[in-house]
């Protein structure tokens, strides 16, 4: 069985992430979407919320070979212990490539069986990042069309990340 892993914070899940999930899932038997805890960032959503929203979006997209896991720790160890043959990373631009290449080489050094596959982001999503989405949310902007509909509804219905109520 061919297992790939797509790690990320997915805070929040964007249409760019969902596009990579859909495309990568066609290349393997199981795509492990690993929700990474980044201790250097203050999350918009809890891991539990992110997993729920990812599962809903993936199910809505008709992708049935995705396994969701929480992840923190050493990636090379997790990959080795869980028989993952490839890590998937999305690339939007040159800075993404520049930051991802050293990681891929280091992971290959740490575990010879490690492969990294880069998928170019669909051009219509190339400007999307979770950080940009958070900024739009913070300033009460519309995230419609930037994130899957279930994610938009959840964030807006729960007033997550907003600096003030829309009525102010």
Structural domain boundaries in the chain: 3-157
Which CATH fold topology does 3-157 show? Answer: Rossmann fold (3.40.50)
Q: Is 130 a catalytic residue?
A: yes
Q: Render the chain in DSSP notation, one character per residue.
A: --EEEEEE--TT--HHHHHHHHHHHTTSSEEEEEEE--TTS--SS-HHHHHHHHHHHHHHTT---EEEEEE-S-HHHHHHHTT--EEEEEE-SHHHHHHHHHHHHHHHHH-TT--EEEEEPPGGGTT--HHHHHHHHHTT---BTTB-HHHHHHHHHTTTT-SS-TT-
> Per-residue confidence at 168, pLDDT binned at 50, 70, 90?
very low
Q: Is 26 a catalytic residue?
A: no
pLDDT score, position 72: 87
C-beta of residue 9 within 8 angstroms of C-beta of residue 33: no
Q: Is the pLDDT reported for residue 145 higher than 50?
A: yes
Average pLDDT over residues 70-87: 91
Q: Is the pLDDT reported for residue 163 higher than 80?
A: no
> Per-residue confidence at 110, pLDDT binned at 50, 70, 90?
confident
C-alpha–C-alpha distance, residues 36 and 47, integer Å: 8
pLDDT score, position 62: 97
Q: Is 131 a catalytic residue?
A: no
The residue annotated as part of the active site, out of 17, 50, 89, 134, is: 17
Report CA 93 to chain centroid distance, whole Å.
16
The residue annotated as part of the active site, out of 2, 41, 109, 159, is: 41
As a whole number, the mean pLDDT across the chain is 91
Per-residue pLDDT tens for 30-51?
Answer: 999 999 987 777 899 999 999 9
pLDDT score, position 17: 97
Q: For residue 30, which of 84, 108, 78, 104 has the smallest C-alpha distance?
A: 84
The residue annotated as part of the active site, out of 25, 89, 125, 130, is: 130
The residue annotated as part of the active site, out of 92, 108, 153, 162, is: 92
Q: Is 92 a catalytic residue?
A: yes
């Amino acid at each position: 069985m061919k297992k790939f892993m797509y790690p990320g914070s997915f805070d929040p899940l964007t249409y760019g992430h969902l596009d990579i999930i859909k495309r990568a899932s066609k290349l393997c038997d199981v795509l492990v979407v690993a929700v990474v805890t980044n201790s250097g960032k203050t999350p918009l959503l809890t891991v539990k919320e992110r997993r729920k929203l990812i599962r809903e979006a993936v199910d809505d997209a008709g992708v049935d070979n995705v396994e969701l896991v929480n992840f923190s720790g050493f990636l090379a160890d997790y990959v080795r212990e869980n028989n993952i043959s490839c890590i998937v990373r999305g690339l939007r631009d040159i800075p993404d490539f520049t930051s991802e290449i050293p990681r891929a080489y280091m992971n290959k050094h740490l575990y010879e069986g490690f492969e990294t596959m880069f998928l170019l982001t669909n051009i219509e999503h190339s400007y999307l990042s979770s950080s940009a989405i958070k900024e739009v949310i913070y300033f009460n902007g519309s995230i419609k069309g930037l994130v899957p509909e279930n994610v938009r509804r959840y964030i807006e219905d729960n007033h997550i990340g907003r600096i003030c109520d829309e009525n102010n």
